[in-house]
Amino acid sequence: MSTVAPPALRSTAFRQSLVVSGLFVLALLVVNFLFFPPGTVAVVLLSGLYQGMLFFLVAAGMSIVFGLLDVLNLAQGSFFMLGAYAGFAIYAALPEGAPITVRFVTALVGATLFGGLLGAAVEVGLLRPLYSRPIFQIVLTFGLATAINEVVRAIYGPAGLVPITPPAALNTTFTVLGGQFETYRVFIIAVGFMLMVGITLLLQRTRLGIVIRAGVQDREMVEALGINVRRVFTLVFVLGTAVAALGGMTAAPFLGAYPSMGGQFLLTAVIVIVIGGMSSYEGTAIASVLVGLTRATAEQISLQYLNTPVLASVSILVFMVVVLLVRPTGLFGRE
Amino acid sequence: MSAILTIEGIHTFIGQLHILEGVSVEVPANSITVLLGRNGAGKTTTLRSIMGLHPPAQGVIRFRGEVISGKRPYDIAHLGIGFVPDYRAIFRQLTVAENLKIAERRPGDLARKQEFIFSIFPDLRRLYHWPGGQLSGGQQQMLAIARVLVPDNHLLLIDEPSEGLAPVIVEQMMAAIRQLSGQTTVLLVEQNFLVASRLADRYTVIENGQSVHAGLMADLAQDRALITRYLSAA
Amino acid sequence: MRRHLSGSLPGLLALLLFALIPYSLAAVTGQPEEGLSGVARIHSAAESVYCQEGLNPAAVALLVEMGLMLGAVIIGGRRPAADGQRPFFSTDGWHLLAVMALVAIPFVIAWRTDSSVCRRGDAFFWQSIFVDVFILAILAMSYNLMFGFTGVVSFGHAAFFGSGAYLVGLLMLHLQWPWWTAVLAALTTGALIALVKGVVGLRIRGLYFALFTLAFAEIFFLLAGNRILVNLTGAEDGFTFAVPDWLNSTKNRLFFYYLTLVALVFSFWLIRRLVHSPTGRVMAALRDNEARAQMLGYNTFYFKLIAIVLAGVMATGAGVLRGLALKGASPNVLGLDFTINPLLMTIVGGQGTFVGPVVGAFGLHLVEQALRDTVLTIGGLEVNVGERWALILGLVFILSVLVFPYGIVGTWQLKGLHTRAGWRRLLRRSTDLSNRE
């Protein structure tokens, strides 16, 4: 008997949300072209993409951890910040004479490892004793975030660190449609995109990925099948914090490092996962792009007409409120 | 008759509720034993206690001589116990293939068992790449049972396999389970007495969280009085 | 059912009245300034007595009076309760004692530090600290009403607090409204905001509602601090406004102290009354198991809405007091701090209890003030406690969740239950044995 073609792997609801997201992007494009010259539009879009990638790096870990462990890790922003600071420390510790590329890459890898190790310590030491009581684990992770921020502030002071110089190849600018753009931002987009694809492959093609996706649906059954879910929890948590730390270090040559960057990116990450659907990985990926583009567009409009960038933050907050009121489970969430 | 599983006077709490107040069951190897009883008597909780999902507060559960009460579910699974819950716990967002793959305990389990599984549940061959959520109720139940056939399990705990299924599918299910009992032991919970009586070799009746009666199914099937007493609407 | 002193209006009024006795004594025996008449003359006379440094006659009169009241409460409180138990000192007695202590504190500090309650000095300084504590306690209680008693989680409480401060100030500054109109308007607006928030947001489930409130508050914060409104609100620097002399916390700090204390006691009474009322019982049922409450026929939306509106108004009131106390407002009153702090105080103190948030507020804020300038040396590292308070707070967060999930008061109550149950079991066992004989 021949195999009948299987039905689509994704439900109609998923495809509908995909269409909605596409339409939204289209709408943003239209708004952009209406208000700005093509050069600015290109800059805004690229800016939105690079911001979106950074948001993704913080939010991805948050959403998978939430789906699997039922824990909303409010310390993710702090791991992002720690990645930046750790990267700085490693960069500064390496000899001055060494080629910048080597120092840069070592800092990247080192920061990621640091984020992962610290994440492991946190998960095993602090989260394991705690049963899933939403308000308490939120308080716990928030307390952790505060503690981390203050420790960094105590060691490095409240003012930020001067951004480090990236490798020469990335330290250039180029023009797109008449608008000037830094190559480094494209690098950030590339890193984010690679991770997006990488995590998707992990989830879809590896055994660990199957376990994670199954665990998000039914933790208990996965354990009854003989899988040590606790180890999987730690692994997933570590993955989340490591990716966030990588994000921080990747952004460091561009944004620098300052203690309050944790809080800013945390809030945006929360907005992203709410819009995308709190335990949906695809939702997080798509929502981070949507949020990035919205933010960039709003910021440009705000600067042009109000001389202040306030609309950037307000616009994505309003976006989140609208999603919460119309479809609280998010664009791609399921309940 | 050597018992592969013995439950000795267990008490199990779910939160504050005292669900099992002294349950003892003996399950001989290579047989089909069924837990009978009214709704809410504690049959499902007994299975879940064995699996470690609700560890007993008192009493001991032994599997092949080893004490398993108090171990974590994944350790218990690795000793060779497979669990099919009463809510058809297949992973809807995963394909049939992925559902089976995740059940592997040693690499290559699925490759070895694939033909065997397809011989018992031929439909699954055709549905191999379908997402679990798109299968019918009966097919999902078959997948759930197929899943515990992937690793080498010595004991299968199956909770209400016939629930919500059409009679034709139930027949297929029963044939499949009968085929399995030759190589492995089955502990069944079954509300439907007709199915239970035709399938099981032995029975234990659970009433109000206590095991009250046990014996050979052949004897019970003849005893009208017992049936009405313990099972009311049989 | 026991009638609680702290839940009864006569009791409350008695409390307030007794403050007048020392004042009257001081007014009669004091030396007024030259050239004043009427109320100003009386007040000046009283001031000349109680503003003296160190231990002054007014303070003595106060202490004597309180001693008498204490005695009356101890004796009067020995009526048996419904379950036949005879407590030495009823709960109300403890509450009353606490209030008396708070009434006396400015004078006690004045006595111990040989300063005056009216002029710059230790006693004066600590009054403003306590005013802050009282305001935070009211804020924490309002949060507890929503979260501890009704089970509604919100991350946007600062929106009410900040609105209270901003509104009362803006109305008095830009529209020149008299204080009582401004206060009333602020409270009403707070109620309306809460109403809108509740009606719009309660349709969505717990965690999502909490995030909705977070976004809501954050939008307020961003808009208030923004340069586009600089003429109205002063943007990131905030603004200041003038208050009538008698409400001025710098000129008449003692009065302001007692004003906020009265507000605290009143809020406590209000919450006590509400929780013991039929409405309050439904709220508690709602917190424990919303599905069951719905099945019993209660419109849970309505009750949650009531809790949110009341909590919102109370928080706005706290904000109003804060605005008046500082004679100004700046964006930080809308900031996350004033959502996190009441949450922490409620959890550390004990959510779902009456005194929990108050204990939490007192504990955290007073400890922070007391340790402001202490420097700890841990293994070679110098830690200035005042500067690193946020770090300590973060650690307290973590500890309180891991070790004291029920908070100080909650754990105390639970332990109390266990000890009592243990005694009872012990007694029962011995009677059992004697029966078997």
Q: Is the pLDDT of residue A100 over 90?
A: no
Is A314 an interface residue toward C (CB < 8 Å)? yes
Q: Is the pLDDT of residue B196 over 80?
A: yes
The residue-averaged pLDDT of C8-20 equals 64
pLDDT in tens, C346-382: 888 888 788 888 988 998 888 888 877 777 776 666 6
ipTM: 0.90
Of all residues in chain B, what percent carry a pLDDT higher than 70?
98
In this complex, do A223 and B74 lie within 8 Å of one another by their Cβ atoms?
yes
User: How close does chain A come to C350, measured CA to CA in Å?
Assistant: 13
Q: Any idea which residue has 């989260």 for tokens?
A: A127
What's the pLDDT score for residue C158? 92
pLDDT in tens, A257-266: 888 888 889 9
| Beta pairing partners, B83 | B157
Chain A residues inside the 8 Å CB shell of C405: 133, 136
Chain B residues inside the 8 Å CB shell of A222: 102
* Cut 0.90: pTM above it: no
Of C111, C88, C77, C83, whose CA–CA distance to C6 is shortest? C77
Ranges assigned E (strand) in chain B: 3-14, 17-28, 32-36, 58-63, 66-67, 81-84, 155-159, 185-189, 202-207, 210-216
Which amino acid type is present at position B214?
A: A
Q: Is the pLDDT of residue B234 over 50?
A: no
Q: Which band of pLDDT confidence, cut at 50, 70 and 90, is reported for residue C299?
A: confident
pLDDT in tens, C162-209: 999 999 998 988 888 888 899 999 999 999 999 998 888 887 877 888
Ranges assigned E (strand) in A203-259: none
Half-sphere CA count of C352, side-chain side, radius 13 A? 18
Instruction: Give yes or no for a contact between B82 and B156, defined as CB atoms under 8 angstroms apart.
Output: yes
Q: Which of A146, A314, A325 sits opposite C397 (nearest CB)?
A: A146
Of C170, C124, C155, C216, whose CA–CA distance to C319 is shortest? C170
Is A210 an interface residue toward B (CB < 8 Å)? yes
**SS3 string of A262-326?**
HHHHHHHHHHHHHHHCCCCHHHHHHHHHHHHHHHHHHHHHHHHHHCCCHHHHHHHHHHHHHHHHH
Three-point CA angle C285, C287, C289, nearest 5°: 65
Dihedral angle at the C-alpha atoms of C13, C19, C20, C23, nearest 10 degrees? -170
> How is residue C355 written in tokens?
């005194």
Of A209, A238, A239, whose CA–CA distance to A124 is shortest? A238
The residue-averaged pLDDT of C38-43 equals 77
Q: Is the pLDDT of residue C1 over 70?
A: no
pLDDT in tens, C100-141: 888 888 888 888 887 777 777 788 888 889 999 999 999 999
* Chain A residue with minimum CA distance to B48: A224
pLDDT in tens, C325-355: 998 888 888 888 888 888 888 888 888 788 8
pLDDT in tens, C395-433: 888 888 777 777 788 777 777 666 666 655 555 444 444
What's the pLDDT score for residue A37? 84
Is A3 an interface residue toward B (CB < 8 Å)? yes
Q: What is the mean pLDDT of chain B?
A: 89
Contacts of A42 (CB under 8 A, 6+ apart): A176, A177, A178, A179, A181
Taking an 8 Å Cβ-Cβ cutoff, which residues of chain B contact chain A?
51, 53, 72-74, 77-78, 83, 85, 89, 91-95, 98, 101-103, 105, 125-131, 133-134, 147, 151
The residue-averaged pLDDT of B19-46 equals 91
pLDDT in tens, C246-279: 788 788 888 888 889 989 988 988 888 888 888 8
Q: Which of B83, B91, B127 sits opposite A214 (nearest CB)?
A: B91
What's the pLDDT score for residue C437? 32
Q: Any idea which residue has 């003296």 for tokens?
A: C52
Instruction: Give yes or no for a contact between C407 and C350, defined as CB atoms under 8 angstroms apart.
Output: yes
Which amino acid type is present at position C220?
A: F
Neighbours of A230 (CB within 10 A): 14
